[in-house]
Amino acid sequence: MNPESHDIPCTHGFHFLIRDSKLNLITTMRSQSAVFVMPIDIFLGTLLQEIFSNELNLEMGNYYHFSSSFHIYENEFKISETILTKKSTINFEMEKLPPNIKFSHFNKLILIEKLIREDYFEGKIRLENLYN
C-alpha cells in the first residue's frame, strides 16, 4: 500500500459461518459510498461466499452487510436522486456459478489483476488476449 495515498481500505473483514449446512457471510466495512461502492462490495462478498460454498460443498446461506458509515458524495447527488425517484420493476438475479468452479480457478484472474495494478503492461493491455 502506498503510504502517501488517501485511499484507506474500507473492508474490516469477512466472517464466514456454517449454520444448518449453509455458508453464511457477514461483511463489515469501515465506511463506503452507498451509491457507487456498496453494490460492488456486495457483489464481491456474495461472489466469495459462492466460491467458498462450492469449495466446501455447502449451500449458500444468508449474506449480511454492515458499514459504520454510509455516505453519498456531492458528485453522486444527481444519480442518487434518480435512483430514489425512478420507478423500476426490474428484478435482477445473477446465475449461480457451476458447482465445479473452485477457488483455484481464480489464480489466473488474480495474477492478471496484480499485473494490471502494477502497470506491468504499461497501459497497453488488450483484454481479448488475456485468456488465450
Q: 13-69 pLDDT, tens per residue?
A: 999 999 999 999 999 999 999 888 898 899 899 989 998 998 899 999 999 999 999
pLDDT band at 1 (very low <50, low <70, confident <90, very high): low
b/e burial code for range 29-65 (CB count within 10 A of at least 16 → b): beebbbbebeeebeeebbebbbbbbbeeebebbebee
Model-wide pTM > 0.75: no
Instruction: Give the per-residue pLDDT at 26.
Output: 98
Query: Which pLDDT tens digit goes with each residue over 63-94?
Result: 999 999 989 989 989 988 888 888 766 677 77
